[in-house]
Structure formats: structure tokens, C-alpha cells
Amino acid sequence: MEINTFEQLKDECISKNKKIYEIAQENMAIGSDISVEQVRAFANRSLFAMKEAIEIGMNSRELSMSGMCGQDCYKLQKYYKTARPMFGSVFEKIIEYALATSEENIRMGKIVACPTAGSCGILPSTIVAVSEEYNYSESEQINAVITAGEIGRIISIKVALAGAVAGCQAECGTAAAMSAAAICQLRGGNISQVLNAMALAMKNILGLTCDPVAGLVEVPCVKRNPFMAVHSITAVEMALAGIESKIPPDEVIDAMEQTGALMSPTLKESSQAGLATTPSAMRVQKEIFG
């Protein structure tokens, strides 16, 4: 069955008594004329690349070519050597891993665009940190990656996942929704809870602009990744507690599409407004490009 909406996905999961990742990997296998095992192997390669980017990023202090970013993860690690994270060890790992991955991206290292390079730290940080903390197996982590991919795929049917099209709500917002769904499923959530987590994460980030300083995917992009990763976990905890989004997932995506269409082009990756045109940002742009 071709699945183009979250309502169709939910119906399919319920009728077949299967998880999102089971439906998704079967459909991907049929659509690509490969086996389910090959689909899972591909997801595992992405998972390995996510972990590799985190490891490299955690051990690097190299600045980006612009010099604006590259050492925030190091500063955070240094801080946590003497200070306890207020929200516990999972919180510490998530924000460190998100920064590590995002900084590896601006160094032109290898990352997984999930769904985009500018939002690459959100999903990996939550899957890896939560899996380490609760000892989830590699197979369970692969399930989470496939779940996230299916959420991103359905969103992308309606809205192009690019800041130039719908602002950062389409990039970091979608990544947060993917993360929320993946972690909710990893933590034992049912189909309704998983989709509510996704909807809550996306609904509460609608309107997020894309206004990169000097046109580079660095400020505010790098630090936005840990913020959105933690945001996604908030959605998970609420959904697992039985809190529901009053607006269904498909309607939330409709609202995101509409919001993106109404957003000024100056706030959609053009660097013509917002943070990108503040006095400080203009000074930075002049220093970098002359």
C-alpha cells in the first residue's frame, strides 16, 4: 500500500498490528526491489556514520573556515567536568552529541543529513544518547532510524525540507519531529503516542525562520541543533504520559506548509533579514567576505 499521510500510516500499523519501522522497511524493500535485510543494512550504515560523526566531533576543536564556530562542544565538555548537568546525564550527552555532529558538518566532515545538513545533529544525538543510557541494542537503534526516516518521508511529500522553501521549521522542525517519533518508539510508545510525539514536536516549532549569518550554515544553525534535540525529548515525555496533540499530525504538516508559504522570502535562507542583518552579523559578514 502506498502511504502518503500519517493517517494512512496509522491505519496500516493498526490493521496489520505492526510498528512504523516494520511497515516502512517492507515498503522500502518492495519499492527498491531489495530485501528487508538490505534496507536494514543501509539504515545501519547511516547509524554507524552518525556515531562516527559524534566521535570525531567530540574530539575536535578545529574551527570552521569562517572562524565563527567549531569549539562549542569542547567548551561544553570542559564545563561538565566540574559541573553536573541539571537534567541528568542523558541531557548532557544529547546537547554534546548534537553540537559535535553539527560542528563536524561545518568543518565539512562526513555527516548524515537527517533530513538536512543544517539539522544533522538532532536525530543522531537523541538516538545515540538515549540508546547508551538505556542499553538499547543495535537492532533497536536501526528500528528507530527507519522510524525517523518514514516520518521525514511523509512530511517531505507535502513540504520540501529546505529552509529556502519553508524556513527552518522545515529543517530543524522536521528533524525534531523525526527524533520525537524515533525516541518515542524506542521507549515503547504505541502508534498513537509516536504520532502524537511527532505532532507535538512539529506543532511547537511552527514559524521558525531561516536567517543564517553571512549566508553560512553556522549561526544560529549549530546551536539550534541541541536546542531542537532537547525539544524533541520534551514531546516524547508528554506523549508517553498520554498527552495528545489536539491538532492531528497531517493537519500540523498542512499548517507548516501554509506558514512557510506566508513567510517572507527575506526569512527563508536568503540572509536578508532577522539575525543575518543585525549590526553584529553585518560586521561578521564584512570580516569574512570583505
Q: Residue 141 domain-assigned? A: yes
Total tally of structural domains belonging to the chain: 1
Mean pLDDT of all residues belonging to the chain: 97
pLDDT one-digit tens code per residue, 121-151: 999 999 999 999 999 999 999 999 999 999 9
Q: What's the CATH number where 120 sits? A: 1.10.4100
Q: pTM higher than 0.95, yes or no?
A: yes
Confidence of residue 35 (pLDDT cuts 50, 70, 90): very high
pLDDT one-digit tens code per residue, 145-200: 999 999 999 999 999 999 999 999 999 999 999 999 999 999 999 999 999 999 99
77: containing domain: 6-289
SS3 readout for the chain: CCCCCHHHHHHHHHHHCCCHHHHHHHHHHHHHCCCHHHHHHHHHHHHHHHHHHHHHHHCCCCCCCCCCCCCHHHHHHHHHCCCCCCCCHHHHHHHHHHHHHHHHHHCCCCCCCCCCHHHCCHHHHHHHHHHHHHCCCHHHHHHHHHHHHHHHHHHHHHCCCCHHHHCHHHCHHHHHHHHHHHHHHHCCCCHHHHHHHHHHHHHCCCCCCECCHHHCCCCCHHHHHHHHHHHHHHHHHHHHCCCCCCCCHHHHHHHHHHHHHHCCHHHECCCCCHHHHCHHHHHHHHHHHC
Q: What pLDDT was estimated at residue 277?
A: 98
Q: Residue 196 domain-assigned? A: yes
Q: Residue 1 domain-assigned? A: no
